[in-house]
Amino acid sequence: MIWTIIGILLLAWLLGFLFEFAGGLIHILLVIAIIVFIVKMIRK
């Protein structure tokens, strides 16, 4: 599940760079997804 979310966010982030569409929001969501992923890896 987390990998799917990360993949979608990375794709949206790249599209944001290409089309300058909601770039700031995508960056924030990407950072949140990375933080959640790291926390889940540490707790295991």
State the Cα–Cα distance between residues 12 and 21, nearest whole angstrom: 9
- Show the tokens assigned to 26: 């995508």
* Parent domain of 28: 2-43
- pLDDT for 24 equals 67
Residues of the chain short of pLDDT 70, as ranges, are 16-24, 26
Q: Per the confidence metrics, is the pTM higher than 0.75?
A: no
Our CA dihedral for 17, 23, 26, 27, rounded to 10 degrees, sits at 90
The total of structural domains in the chain comes to 1
